[in-house]
Amino acid sequence: MKLLIVESPSKAKTIAKYLGGEYEVRASVGHIRDLPKSNKKAIDIDGGFIPHYEVSAGKEKVVSDIKSLAKKASEILLATDPDREGEAIAWHIQEACDLKGAKRVAFHEITESAIKEAIKEPREIDMNLKSAQEARRVLDRLVGYDLSGIIWKKVRYGLSAGRVQSPALRIVMEKEREIRAFIPETYFVLAGEWKTEGKIKESKTYTLALECEEQPKVKEEAERIVKVGRASKWEVTALDGSDVSRSPRAPFTTSTLQQTASSRLGYAPSRTMGIAQKLYEKGLITYMRTDSTTLSKVSLGEIANTVENIFGKNFLEVRTYKTKSKNAQEAHEAIRPTHASTRYGGTTDDEKKLYSLIWERTISSQMKDAKLRRSKVTANITNGKSTIPDFSVTGSVVTFQGWLIADPDARGDDVQLPELNVGDNLNLLTLQSIEKQTQPPSRYTEAGLIKELEKRGIGRPSTYASIISTIEDRGYVNKINKALHPTDTGEVVTTFLEQELGKYISDTFTADMEDKLDDIASGKTTYLKTLSDFYGPFLKDVKSKEKLEKATNLGDAPDDLLCPLCKSKMVVKLARNGKFYSCSKYPDCMGARKLDGTVLEGPKKLGKACPKCEKGELMEREGRYGKFIACSNYPKCKYIEQDEEQRKANSTGVSCNKCKDGYMEERKGRFGVFYSCSNYPDCKHIIKTRPTGNRCSYKKADGSICGELMMEGTKTIPERCSDKTCPNHNPHKLGK
């Protein structure tokens, strides 16, 4: 028996079908090992940035199964994805499963011929590629951990920063500042409709829509032009025409696929990549993480035959495209259909649409230019008493479809103009002036941000989708009508990093680091040197910011907005839900206002001393999850209790089995609803699901009874033990 290991179960099924019974094909289901969450355990910095990996939760059975099969296998092939991450996953499988003599194969397309060809030439794992991916993972962990740490201390707990996500957020914020600084200018659009006069040979008339070539900025001038135009006769004063060509676009890379799918189909980058992954695993397209525009000689021949068979030999023109990325990575082909003759592919609607997009782009890339006849009609008044600017319209007609016949959505709207001669009369139907203002630059869409990241050398094809998902999931940007708007939190985090650690979120630093990772992949430098050269100065810079004041103060409030309690000046501050005005004398004064100036109801003093520190006074506050009572000396004193009414509403009436005199109460946290003891923080007993009031009756091996709280389960298992170590926590294992 021979063993072949891939990442995806669906990919495994497709490959097994092609290999018959010769190979046992198994899936690792992605990564099987990763760094632990605790940074102290994750990386031995002093020992040379040695990562300490752990088998990912839930992957123990995968590792066990592969180990078992490997003992019986005469040959072991690691066929993970053909990029750095795939190379690293192959190495992790080899190490975690203790595979001896395993070889590496890579498929750029999942077709029978490509798979059988790759199996003939197995190789060793490329340790340079593995080291480059490992360096990226360790680097991102170190930068993210230390930058996030300083953000927690100086802005707010729970926020994050990263080597690539923070530069991406900075780019979005830079555009927002451009928009805020933009000063609109008024101008007037003068447009109208004219009717052509029927010719002797052809009595048909047309309606022409023309627009003034010089947009006046003064209302009086706009009104003068309209008045003169309405009172005058019009004629065609000039005709210009030219033949132009439109060349096809290069086949898709990861970046251009994400951009086009966003603009044409409205797909988010992460959605596009998820669909593309399924198409790849089904053997319909080549590997979808690439920055190369190259097509193989075999595929060029197939595409040429497809063009001739569907559209005719007259449309064919074999082309080569130069890859723009200076560090095009390991996947050596553009994204294309594995079989050019397969015009339609996929099972779901999403898959069919994306496959068609890829097919059209690939086929059209090997076709002749489209030919268009572009015409411009210019008109003006005939009397010479007054002068006004020319009015014109431009139109185009496709004279030879070329590649547009394969990719019709790329055509756009054509304006077809009637045949006219200079001097022909035009009858004015309407002429009006519309006041407008110049618009600020547009915000980035997801597709636009990917294009900008690629242009600046930030990130790589495999990271674009995750970069955008991260800044959206963190609440740093909101997507409104496809445009990315930075949130207040995103602005504060970016501003702090720019001012204090700007070097590490700059374009040059991020792009240079990508180049250094590429150098590791090509063997020009080493993992240890790259991380050593970076981390020492970086850590020193981060530690130098420890003494900075908190960055939640965002500047002064307007002078006319005074504190509602003590009439002092106010400042703009950042809270979890956005900006607000706070008294400049906080915490001595709790006065606060919303941004619209209305007064925020502040904490109420209860006239009771804090039972914990005995120096502060208990105050009723309003939090994300309702009212609660806390010490006025927070954060020095972290005493907290629920409001009495809230406590009654949240109480389950079930006594705590840890401290005996407390009751289990419903609470809300970052990860949803949970149940904890009313004596928190003295008693920290917590369960995830609502307690039923019963106690676990499971009899242990020593004869004792478990006695832990039972909690609500599922439809099939309505009740289970709250103790994870108790077999009754998963009653189905007991046959219940």
- Catalytic option among 287, 476, 527, 581: 287
Q: What is the CATH number of domain 136-182+442-543?
A: 1.10.460.10
Q: What is the DSSP letter of 434?
A: E
pLDDT at 346: 93
CA 710, distance to chain mean position in Å, is 41
Residue 287 annotated among the catalytic residues of the structure: yes
Segment 221-225 long-range contacts (CB within 8 Å, at least 24 positions apart): 221/188, 222/188, 222/190, 222/433, 222/435, 223/433, 224/388, 225/190, 225/388, 225/389, 225/433
Both structure tokens of 573: 């501050």
pTM as predicted: 0.75
User: Using CA atoms, how far apart are residues 118 and 196, in angstroms rounded to an integer?
Assistant: 67
3-state helix/strand/coil string of 210-226: EEECCCCCCHHHHHHHH
pLDDT at 735: 58
Tell me the helices (H) and strands (E) count for the chain, helix number first: 18, 31
pLDDT at 324: 66
pLDDT at 152: 87
CATH entry 2.70.20.10 includes domain 186-247+370-437 = yes
User: Using CA atoms, how far apart are residues 350 and 357, in angstroms rounded to an integer?
Assistant: 11
How much of the chain is helix, strand and coil, in % rounded to 5?
35, 25, 40
User: Where are the alpha helices (H) located in 157-243, listed in sequence order?
Assistant: 165-181, 219-230
pLDDT at 331: 47
Both structure tokens of 167: 């530069």
Is the separation of the CB atoms in 472 and 479 below 8 Å? Answer: yes
What would be the CATH architecture of the domain defined by 2-125?
A: 3-Layer(aba) Sandwich (3.40)
User: Using CA atoms, how far apart are residues 662 and 401, in angstroms rounded to an integer?
Assistant: 79
Query: Low-confidence residues of the chain, pLDDT below 50?
Result: 329-331
Residue 609 makes CB contacts below 8 A (sequence gap 6+) with 615, 616, 617, 618
Helix (H, G, I), strand (E, B) or coil at 30: coil
User: Where are the alpha helices (H) located in 97-155, listed in sequence order?
Assistant: 112-119, 127-154
Looking at CATH, the fold of the domain delimited by 254-364 is given as Topoisomerase I; domain 4 (1.10.290)
Q: What is the DSSP letter of 342?
A: -
Question: Taking the CA atoms of the chain, what radius of gyration do you get in angstroms?
Answer: 34
Q: Give the domain ranges of the chain.
A: 2-125, 136-182+442-543, 186-247+370-437, 254-364, 552-597
